[in-house]
Structures are given as structure tokens and as C-alpha cells.
Amino acid sequence: MDYGEYGFDTLALGYQGSEAPSVEHSVIAAIETDDFYLGAIGLKKVLGSLTLGGYDTSRFTPPNTLNFTFADDISRDLVVGLQSVEFNDPEGAGRSLLPEGILAFIDSTIPHIWLPLDACQAFERAFGLTYDNATDLYLVNSTLHDTLKGQNASVSFILGNGIEGGETVNITLPYASFDLQVSSPIVSKPTRYFPLRRAQNDTQYTLGRTFLQESYLTVDYERSKFSVSQAAFVEDATSNLVAILSPNKTSTTTTVSKRASGRMSAGALAGTIVGVTMFCLLIIGGVSLLLWRRRRRRKSKEASVQQAHKEVENGSSSSGSVPIGELNVEFGDGKYRPPEVEGSPGSRGELAEAEGNHGGTEVEGTNAGVEMGGSGGIAEMEGKGVVQELDAVHVYELPAEDVDSRVARPESGQKRIKRVRLAGVGRKRHQQVKDEAMEKKK
């Protein structure tokens, strides 16, 4: 014997807050056992089917299908129009079991079929049922069970989008679908019963799990649509699952084609790889060429600068001129100026270009000033120490930036002479002296 721990709790169907039927302060027992049995649903040795996100086309008959739209009440959304209920006898006897059409809710949380009282009474006459007031069930004894089983009648539920007219779907239930058992605590021992219940009002009209045994229900919550089909029971059938796509998808074929197009063939993949590789090589080559040219220009510039420094140091230039700034020398006053012509006091008729010890004068001599040095040449102006071409007292060398110096190569046997062209005040003074000398000669 198993022992349990008992307590009180509230039992309810559905999810919390769904306002489903509930029983408060119910006795709950927790037990420990290795042999626990909750119950079973008879499906003629064919397993049930539950598919999330799609449906299985092998479990229903596609032509016998009807689509519906959700009802406004979300607590009773899967509502169909039950237009007719037909009793079919194998001997050909048929009758209607529903006086008028009703709206019924499909609910998998309950096992019964809830119909109006007059419809339940029509079932009583067709199947010979007796209503048990103690249990509110149609109990079936063994004698009636054998009779109904031998009779093998069926019941057809004709569904539509309204209580009359329009397209319909026929869901047929054999008697075996109504052959169920009830046990404790409703009855003391397992007893067969017919799962039909009397509804008190139209809010209780329901098609429960008895109806779903022979129907296939497909629900699309994103589109607020569902469909009901006649279930197909084929042993060892191969499943054919079909996904229910989101509203932004159009069809399963579209999804498959998108997946297929997302995969590249081997040739396309190889071509893409080659193209990307060539593109990367071109970029690398272009950058390398740019860097090489820039480096080459920099080396060429550095070589030119070095060559210029060497030419200055050697006293020559490839262009035949030497910048004045390179020849600045230090004079006694601590300033650096380019010497005009340098020499020694004892030399006559010679003009020095290099640095000397006594400063630079344009023409050096004792009494006669000459424009250029030589031996026995004609002097431009003679005198006795009175007139000189340039007076060293009044004529000064101009800064390096104002003097244009050109170096001419001397003829063979001659010394190198540096011709200096004075700019600014010095040049004017030079011309003035020449003009005065010419006037005196006249």
C-alpha cells in the first residue's frame, strides 16, 4: 500500500488566468511509487500526433479540409459553425441529431462533447442511451456496449464558417470513438460511458478530445487562422512535415528556394575566391609601387643634395656657378661676409679669389688703380694715390643675398679671376668714379 502526504490546493484546467473551470480547496496527495499510472486515450492502436511550427500531411485527408478564422473572444478562439450532426446506420438508416446549427468551441482540455439538451435527447434515441443523474454521464453497461459495437453506427459532424450555408467539412466518428471509460473518483470502478454532456447554455457548446480523435486540427496563431480536416489513420505512414511560415514569408517553396540560392556552387565559389584574391593582389601591388616611387624620389633628392655639398667643398659646380653663401669668411669684426677679391699688399695686377689674411679689396696696388690686373696693360685711370676705382673707405661689400657672383674658368696660363657685379649703392658709386675719371682725361 502506498502512503501519501495530503494537503489542500486549487485545481484548474488550462493556464493561470485563463478563467478555465477550477476547484478550490481540493485535497491533494503526494505519493512515492514505482508503479504510477495516470490514464490513457484510446486511438485504435494509432499514436497521436503533435507538431509544433507546422503540420503533418500524412495524418489527414487534404481534400476534406476547411479553413477558419479566429473568433473575437481569445478564450474561445477556435470556434466553428456546427451546422448539422448526422447519425449513420450501416443498414442505411440516417437521421439528424442536431435540430439547428450552433457555434461550438474546439477544446482539447476536455474529453466530452457538449451539445444542447434537445441534441442530447436525439442521441439518446439513436443509441439507446440512458442519462445517469448521479454522475451527469451517459453510462453504458455491457449489454448496450455489445449492441452498439455490433451496430457499428457512426456520427458525422458537418462544420462550416457559419451555422448554415457556405463551404463545409464532414468529420465522421465511428462508434469506437465514443467507447470510453470513466473511473474513480467519479465511479467506484471503471465503467464504460458515452462522452456526451448536456450544456446549460451556448457558452458550453464544445467539441472536446472525443471529436479530435477523428479530426486533424492545424492552428496558425500568427495569422489568427486554423483548419479542421478528417484524420487519416495509416499504419507505418511516413511523416511529411510542412512548416507554417511567418507572415513575411509567402510559401514553403520560397523558403526552400532562398535556402538553395544561399548556397553557392563549387564553380561560383572558386570564381569568387579567385576574384577576391586578384583584387587583393592589385591593391597590394599598387601600394607597393607607390611606396617604391616615393622612396626612389627621396633617395634621388638625397643624392642631389650630397653631390651639391661635394661640389661646394671642391670649389666647383656642375652648373658653373658657386653660391655666394658657401664662400662667406670671417672678418676682423666677427661678421661673415663674402670677400670680393683677396690678395697681398705686394702683388700687382693680380686678383685673388680665395681667402687671404688682409681682407678683401676690389683692386690691390700702390699708386695706380687698374680695373683688371696684367703686365703693361693700359690702365683705365692713372693717378698718384688720389683717385682709385673704388675707395675702400667708402665702398663696402653688400650682403650675400644682394651679390650675383659668377665664376669663369681662366684661360691656360692665367689665374682664376672672379668677376663681381656690385648691386645697389656700390654699383652707382663705381659708375660715378668712372665718369669723373673720363671727364678729367678730356
Q: Give the chain as a 3 state SS string.
A: CCCEEEEEEEEECCCCCCCCCEEEEEEEEEECCCCCCCCCCCCCCCCCCCCCCEEEHHHEEEEEEEEEECCCCHHHCCEEEEEEEEEECCCCCEEECCCCCEEEEECCCCCCEEECHHHHHHHHHHHCCEEECCCCEEECCHHHHHHHHHHCCEEEEEEECCCCCCCEEEEEEEHHHHCEEECCCCCCCCEEEECEEECCCHHHCEECHHHHCCEEEEEECCCCEEEEEEECCCCCCCCCEEECCCCCCCCHHHHHHHHHHHCCCHHHHHHHHHHHHHHHHHHHHHHHHHHHHHHHHHHHHHHHHHHHHHHHHHCCCCCCCCCHHHHCEECCCCCEECCCCECCCCCCCCCCCCCCCCCECCCCCCCCCCCCCCCCCCCCCCCCCCCCCCCCCCCCCCCHHHCEEEECCCCCCCCCCEEEECCCHHHHHHHHHHHHHHHHHC
Q: Which residue has the higher pLDDT, 395 or 111?
A: 111
Query: If pLDDT is split at 50, 70 and 90, which confidence band does 214 have?
Result: very high
What is the rounded CA–CA span in Å between residue 287 and residue 293?
Answer: 10
Average pLDDT over residues 75-80: 93
Asked whether 82 and 103 are in contact (CB, 8 A), the reply is yes
Query: If pLDDT is split at 50, 70 and 90, which confidence band does 249 have?
Result: confident
Average pLDDT over residues 244-258: 61
What is the rounded CA–CA span in Å between residue 109 and residue 20?
Answer: 10
377, pLDDT greater than 80: no
Phi-psi region of 17 (alpha: psi -120 to 50; beta: other; left: phi over 0): left
Q: Which of 342, 358, 360, 361 is nearest to 415 (CA)?
A: 342
364, pLDDT greater than 60: no
Q: Which amino acid is at 329?
A: V
Average pLDDT over residues 107-129: 94
Q: Which of 251, 216, 204, 227 is nearest to 61 (CA)?
A: 216
226, pLDDT greater than 80: yes
Q: Which residue has the higher pLDDT, 204 or 51?
A: 204
Q: Which residue has the higher pLDDT, 372 or 181?
A: 181
Provide the percentage of residues in the chain whose pLDDT is more than 70: 62
pLDDT at 370: 41
Average pLDDT over residues 173-185: 90
Q: Are strands 329-330 and 241-243 parallel, antiparallel or unpaired?
A: unpaired
Q: Which of 118, 288, 86 is nearest to 198 (CA)?
A: 118
Phi-psi region of 53 (alpha: psi -120 to 50; beta: other; left: phi over 0): left
Cell numbers standing for residue 323:
653660391
Q: Are strands 113-115 and 196-198 parallel, antiparallel or unpaired?
A: parallel
Query: If pLDDT is split at 50, 70 and 90, which confidence band does 413 have?
Result: very low
pLDDT at 337: 52
128, pLDDT greater than 80: yes
What is the rounded CA–CA span in Å between residue 178 and residue 115?
Answer: 15
pLDDT at 326: 44
Asked whether 240 and 139 are in contact (CB, 8 A), the reply is no
Phi-psi region of 14 (alpha: psi -120 to 50; beta: other; left: phi over 0): left
Q: Which of 65-69, 276-280, 303-307, 370-374 has the highest mean pLDDT?
A: 65-69
What residues form DSSP beta bridges with 216?
A: 229
The pTM is what? Answer: 0.49
Spatial CB neighbours of 141, under 8 Å, sequence gap ≥ 6: 192
